[in-house]
Chains A and B, each alone.
Chain A
Amino acid sequence: SYELTQPPSVSVSPGQTASITCSGDKLGDKYACWYQQKPGQSPVLVIYQDNKRPSGIPERFSGSNSGNTATLTISGTQAMDEADYYCQAWDTSTRVFGGGTKLTVL
């Protein structure tokens, strides 16, 4: 079955750029989405179709997807961005989530 791999944790200083990767076989041939989840809350879609932002998501969130890796980039990271982030992609007709990355802003 298809698998997506994310680093368990990423740390970033406030105001700096955070990059979270998601790796999977030929992931660039599929659409990738990214979700943010804060403690005790439901996930929130922050990027869809590789690089599109839903309404209400700040411009500092961006995405890319090529080859075997999708990347979520947060520019000018703020304390409020501290959360778990999950990538997700289609595999034939099913969906797969990555294991999640805990982003720490310190």
Chain B
Amino acid sequence: QVQLVESGGGVVQPGRSLRLSCAASGFTFSSYDMHWVRQAPGKGLEWVAVISYHGGNKYYADSVKGRFTISRDNSKNTLYLQMNSLRAEDTALYYCAKDSNLEHWGQGTLVTVSS
């Protein structure tokens, strides 16, 4: 069955960087677009970024454009999110999700930006 396991979250100071990973299994990773979605504590879902199945197309929410970079390694079945210049408002649970309908989601990894 489809499994998505996020990792790399933690506590980081404002202005610093962090890289999240999402390990995928149970499906042909290289055939599907992948997304990052975040949820601040007690708040709703916010779409962050998407990468096409081949990695050639990437799109971002305005709130993270220029600071975050989505990438993937199809040989490792892994999705990444490089987060730079982190702000307090980036504090959230970060989920990876599979395919155009976001049909499958991981359990999330928590990022806390605080001094």
A1-B62, A45-B102 as given contacts; A97 in contact with B46, CB under 8 Å: yes
- Which residue of B44, B60, B106 is within 8 Å of A97 (Cβ)? B44
Does A48 touch B at the CB level, under 8 Å?
yes
A23-40 interface with B by 8 A CB criterion: 33, 35, 37
Q: How many A-B residue pairs have CB under 8 A?
A: 54
Is A43's CB under 8 angstroms from B105's CB?
Answer: yes
A42-B95, A100-B45 as given contacts; A93 in contact with B59, CB under 8 Å: yes
Q: Write the residues of chain B forming the contact surface with A, with a CB cutoff of 8 angstroms.
A: 35, 37, 44-47, 50, 57, 59-62, 95, 101-108
A93-B59, A94-B61, A97-B45 as given contacts; A33 in contact with B101, CB under 8 Å: yes
Bin the interface of chain A by size: 20 to 34
Is A96's CB under 8 angstroms from B95's CB?
Answer: no
Show 17 A/B contacts (Cβ-Cβ < 8 Å), sorted by A.
A1-B62, A33-B102, A35-B45, A35-B102, A42-B108, A43-B102, A45-B102, A45-B103, A48-B101, A49-B101, A54-B101, A86-B44, A88-B102, A94-B60, A95-B47, A96-B47, A97-B47
Is A95's CB under 8 angstroms from B101's CB?
Answer: no
A1-B62, A94-B50 as given contacts; A48 in contact with B45, CB under 8 Å: no
A46-86 interface with B by 8 A CB criterion: 48-49, 54, 84, 86
6 new A-B contacts, CB < 8 A, other than A45-B102, A88-B45, are A33-B101, A33-B102, A42-B95, A45-B104, A97-B37, A100-B44
Which residues of chain A come closer than 8 Å to B44, judged between CB atoms?
84, 86, 97-100
Is B47's CB under 8 angstroms from A42's CB?
Answer: no
Q: Write the residues of chain A forming the contact surface with B, with a CB cutoff of 8 angstroms.
A: 1, 33, 35, 37, 42-45, 48-49, 54, 84, 86, 88, 93-100
A10 to B37, CA, bound (A): 25
